[in-house]
A and B are shown apart, each in its own frame.
Chain A
Amino acid sequence: MAQQIESVGRSGQQSRPVGDVDEVVKITNLSKTFHRRGLTALEGVDLTLRHGTFTSVIGPSGCGKSTLLKIMAGLIPRSSGEILLNGMPVTGPRQDIGIMFQQPTLLPWRTSLDNVLLPIEVKSGSAAAREQSDKAMQLLELVGLKGFEEVRPFELSGGMAQRVAICRMLVTGPSILLLDEPFGALDELTREYMNFELQRICLERDATTFMVTHAIPEAVFMADQVVVMSARPGRIVMIVDVDLPRPRSLDVMTTPEFATLVRSVRRSLDMGDLGADE
């Protein structure tokens, strides 16, 4: 609890983990079974997210990547195994977890600013939210939405709405950002630009990020490690480390190193597919 408040108080800076300095999230032997459907969604997942790194998760539909993200967010319970965030087990939703979905999920009757302030308002009331409006303004400026504070969602483009959602995720200063196909609903060009922007924001804030995607180039472009999963049961087939220098420009996608990485992710995906079919 004290830790949560601290991470809020530091106006968006990452709070340092207590135990192992580097490990923000540590997942050990995590499994998830949906008993009613007799379905094993996740089996034996081990994963470590280090501070300031970007992790992409890719896999065929039904591989449990979204389930994994929701368990990490404390939104659905795990069946067995352990998840530690900043050394403390995740047992439910927490203020030091930031989350974002494919849809912006903005409240259409609220202005951009009030949407960004929503998590604070829910947690600590309207007065507290008003006090933090300077910080929210700064965040909107960070994502290039200065001057759009009083605009309502229906007047924003898809990309702009997702940028408001980024600010809302960042406003409580979470230690981990969980992104569930955040730009999947946007057109290709906007999506590339948003990925580029997200990279900049994550670098600037030294954020620890976990992103579910189903586009291989996007997964490689964004990540320090690409987690490749297979379906039925969902498990990790391979973790591909990406050591391309940052900040990465879109040009990096034309380099042979990038092509090699994309190929090895592709091969791991195919391997996982064959495994599932047996």
Chain B
Amino acid sequence: MTQVAREHTEPTEMSDAEALWYSGSWIDRIPQPIAILTLGALMLGTWWLVVQIGYVSRILLPGPAETWDELMDITGNILTGGHVGEALWITTQETILGFLSAAVLGIFLGVVVGETRIGQKAVMPYLVAFNALPKVAFAPVFVAWFGFGINSKIVMALFIAFFPVIVSTAAGLWAVDTDTLMLFKSMEAGRWQTLRKLKLPSALPYIFAGLKAAAVFAVVGAVVGEYLGGGKGMGELIRLASQTLRIDRVFAMIFYLGVLGLLLFGAVALAEKKLLFWQKSDTFDIQGGV
């Protein structure tokens, strides 16, 4: 079936995975950008229609046009350094600092867990248990401990973001090839040498999968911290806007939070591409968008 498809209707070279998905139907012949744009237009159209026929109240769900106007207003405000711009800058700082500390602490703890017997036996179960807790619920605690300022939000971002980094780092260290470990043992490599020259580099794809998840989680942590602990960031503005039922404004600000998350995610993905030049597969690119 796929053989036939490959030979007759699809002359270009396909990977096995692509060939498995290939059904020969018209959907396969649409270029991806057009498919994306078409679906986007369909969704926008549905949105517009639902609002237009009055199926839901405009107060609860503003139409695409109002949202676009508000988005332009917000954009102007951000570009001229207005209060939204300031809020976005604060949230950006919280997110980036939270992400960076989650990366450092996560990789460090991941190495401790992945490299030591005690880490594997005793620390890991605690981490798994902690990871199962609803971490958002800790936000008031952090506000009590670190105040209403930026610090409590950084800690919240760190707290939400660093679990995937720990787990993926440890998993990456455990996934190292047994024969290569034997080889290092046969070369009388010490523990530090084995870690630095073999385990950490081969764990990098795993670590980056964790970092990509952390990039998205850091935004969540910062915004949740702002919802529950005041401060001056986007979370606070969104809370205020929704209290006055300015849903269009909420949407516009969420858009910019999305941009923030995407940019951070993109930066991590770019660093991964630069650092993992030796990795030809893109198995790990799919994960992370949790």
Contacts and interface: CB of A to CB of B under 8 A. Distances in A.
A119 B185 CA distance: 11
Contacts of A105: 177, 179-180, 183
B58 interface: no
Interface residues of A, number: 25
A108 B63 CA distance: 52
A93 B185 CA distance: 7
Interface stretch (A24-32, A94-102, A131-139): A94-102
A102 B179 contact: yes
A152 interface: yes
Nearest to A92: B188
A97 to B, nearest CB: 7
Q: Pick from B185, B193, B202 the residue with the most CB of A within 10 Å.
A: B185
B79 interface: no
Nearest to A73: B186
A178 B179 CA distance: 14
Contact of B187 (A108, A109, A118, A153): A118
A101 B179 CA distance: 7
Q: Pick from B177, B185, B187, B202 the residue with the most CB of A within 10 Å.
A: B187
A154 interface: yes
A99 B183 contact: yes
Q: Is the interface of A mostly helix, strand, loop or mixed?
A: loop
B1 interface: no
Interface string A116-139: 001101110000000000000000
A59 B63 CA distance: 75
B42 interface: no
Interface string B103-118: 0000000000000000
B184 A122 contact: yes
Contacts of B177: 103, 105
A122 B182 contact: no
B198 interface: yes
A75 interface: yes
Interface string B25-48: 000000000000000000000000
A96 B179 CA distance: 19
Contacts of B183: 99, 101, 105
B201 interface: yes
A75 B182 contact: yes
A103 B176 CA distance: 14
Q: Is the interface of B mostly helix, strand, loop or mixed?
A: helix
Contacts of A70: 182
B198 to A, nearest CB: 7
Interface in A101-116: 101-103, 105, 107-109
A95 B188 CA distance: 8
A118 B188 CA distance: 12
A93 B179 contact: no
B278 interface: yes
Contacts of A118: 187, 197
Given A118-B187, A123-B188, A109 B201 contact: yes
B185 A75 contact: yes
Given A105-B180, A108-B278, A75 B186 contact: yes
Contacts of B185: 75, 93
A122 B187 contact: yes
B182 A108 contact: no
Contacts of A99: 182-183, 186
A1 to B, nearest CB: 12
B187 A123 contact: yes
Nearest to A70: B182
B186 A154 contact: no
Given A101-B179, A102-B179, A93 B186 contact: yes
Given A73-B186, A121-B197, A154-B280, 6 more contacts: A74-B186, A101-B179, A107-B180, A122-B188, A122-B189, A122-B197
Interface of A: 70, 73-75, 92-95, 97, 99, 101-103, 105, 107-109, 118-119, 121-123, 152-154
Interface of B: 177, 179-180, 182-189, 193, 197-198, 201-202, 277-280
28 contacts: A73-B186, A75-B182, A75-B186, A93-B185, A95-B188, A97-B186, A99-B182, A99-B186, A101-B179, A102-B179, A103-B177, A105-B177, A105-B179, A105-B183, A107-B197, A107-B201, A109-B277, A109-B278, A118-B187, A119-B187, A121-B197, A122-B187, A122-B189, A122-B197, A123-B187, A152-B278, A154-B278, A154-B280
